[in-house]
A and B are shown apart, each in its own frame.
Chain A
Amino acid sequence: SQQGEEDPQALSIQEGENATMNCSYKTSINNLQWYRQNSGRGLVHLILIRSNEREKHSGRLRVTLDTSKKSSSLLITASRAADTASYFCATDTGRRALTFGSGTRLQVQP
Chain B
Amino acid sequence: EAGVAQSPRYKIIEKRQSVAFWCNPISGHATLYWYQQILGQGPKLLIQFQNNGVVDDSQLPKDRFSAERLKGVDSTLKIQPAKLEDSAVYLCASSFGGAGEKLFFGSGTQLSVL
Contact = CB atoms under 8 A, between A and B. Distances in A.
A109 to B, nearest CB: 21
On chain B, which size bracket covers the interface? 20 to 34
A97 B31 CA distance: 10
B45 A42 contact: no
A86 B56 CA distance: 27
Contacts of B103: 35, 43, 45, 90, 98
B99 interface: yes
A33 B45 contact: no
B41 A102 contact: yes
A100 B100 contact: no
On chain A, which size bracket covers the interface? 20 to 34
Nearest to B108: A42
Interface string B5-44: 0000000000000000000000000000101000011111
A40 B108 CA distance: 8
Interface of A: 2, 4, 30-31, 33, 35, 40-45, 48, 88, 90, 92, 94, 96-103
26 contacts: A31-B100, A40-B107, A41-B107, A41-B108, A42-B93, A42-B106, A42-B107, A43-B43, A43-B91, A43-B103, A45-B103, A45-B104, A94-B100, A96-B45, A96-B48, A96-B56, A96-B99, A97-B56, A98-B45, A98-B100, A98-B103, A100-B35, A100-B42, A100-B43, A100-B44, A103-B42
